[in-house]
A = this chain, B = another copy of it.
Amino acid sequence: MSSAMGERTDQQQIDVIVSEVGPRDGLQSLHRTMPTEAKVRWIEALAAAGLREIEVGSFVSPKLLPQMADATEVVAAATKIAGLKVLALAPNLKGAERALASGVHVISMPVSASRAHSMSNVRMTPEDAVEQVRQVRLLIDAHVRATSLEVGISTAFGCSIQGDVDEDYVMQLAVMLAEAGVDSIGLSDSVGYANPTQVRRMFTRLRAEIGDKAGAGHFHNTRGQGLANVVAALEVGVTTFDASQGGLGGCPYAPGATGNIVTEDLVFLLESMGLRTGIDLEKLFAARAILHEALPGEPIYGHTPEAGLPKNFVYAREHRNS
């Protein structure tokens, strides 16, 4: 979910960061557990396809989400991959302690702008969630300063429990989080309510409020509007987008919420628009085989892998060189 570019010294320049959330957001919403060995193979394949940021697990209680019980092992394997920025979610201070010990590069924490969703999801008010983020910042600073801290403000565009979410309040939360020492603060359409007009307005405001700490766009395709929202966000300067291979996952706590945008379709969109992602689509398609094999019968979505690349497709980097 990081918005910062250029922390690594890649030979190949990129314009947009695609941040893969499938191994965390995707797998945690399935009613089955992917074996650790397959998770690691999948993450390696995604990194080999050129993905530079992957959220690989969640340091949540294994009683709540047994699918995420191996987070420490998965982080250990993922941080061995050269050039990969490894993210993991921590829902609270206890999770953050485990995350820090694992050596993860980025701790991501969820803060919901909907009071109803926040109570239902983490049994905390949004303000208590911000306070917890502040404590995690202090914890990080006392330990390893290299670990960064990101927050995606969930239900930032509306909530399937309470309906409207006040946009001014979302901005207040963003400012509070920036003051609490969060490095990057994104906006998440956790339930597929966002529209391009709102996306343009909200990300413009976010940048005005918190400047370079404005982070990723996290959109769902629940009503088919996911990539339309990406186009709108690109226009107002968003350069990092979350997505999930095969469209795995969503938010299991918000009723009726399904559908992360599909990494494959997002990368195709960006590259065809002339925006460099550093990702090889054929290798990305190949990584789907690991999901089919490890999660038999699970629906794996994506239009571009089914249709194949256009006959005249060129990557943005080739287009620019020609």
User: Which residue numbers of A lie inside 8 Å of B, CB to CB?
Assistant: 158-164, 191-193, 195-198, 221-225, 227-228, 230-232, 235, 256, 258-259, 262, 265, 268-269, 272-274, 302-304, 307-308, 310-312
Contact = CB atoms under 8 A, between A and B. Distances in A.
10 contacts: A193-B310, A222-B303, A224-B265, A224-B268, A225-B227, A225-B268, A225-B303, A228-B269, A256-B307, A258-B307
Nearest to A304: B223
A225 B265 contact: yes
Contact of A224 (B159, B256, B303, B308): B303
Contacts of A225: 227, 265, 268-269, 272, 303
Contacts of A224: 227, 262, 265, 268-269, 302-304
B195 A273 contact: yes
A65 B198 CA distance: 44
A39 to B, nearest CB: 26
Nearest to A159: B311
Contacts of A163: 310-312
Nearest to A234: B196
A307 B220 CA distance: 12
Nearest to A312: B163
Contact of A193 (B160, B303, B312): B312
Contacts of A312: 158, 163-164, 193
- Looking at A191, A224, A304, A310, which has the most chain B CB atoms within 10 Å of its CB? A224
Nearest to A272: B195
Contacts of A228: 227-228, 230-231, 269
Contact of A274 (B159, B197, B231): B197
Given A193-B310, A197-B274, 16 more contacts: A162-B311, A163-B310, A163-B312, A164-B312, A195-B272, A196-B269, A196-B273, A197-B272, A223-B265, A224-B262, A224-B269, A224-B304, A225-B303, A235-B235, A256-B308, A258-B307
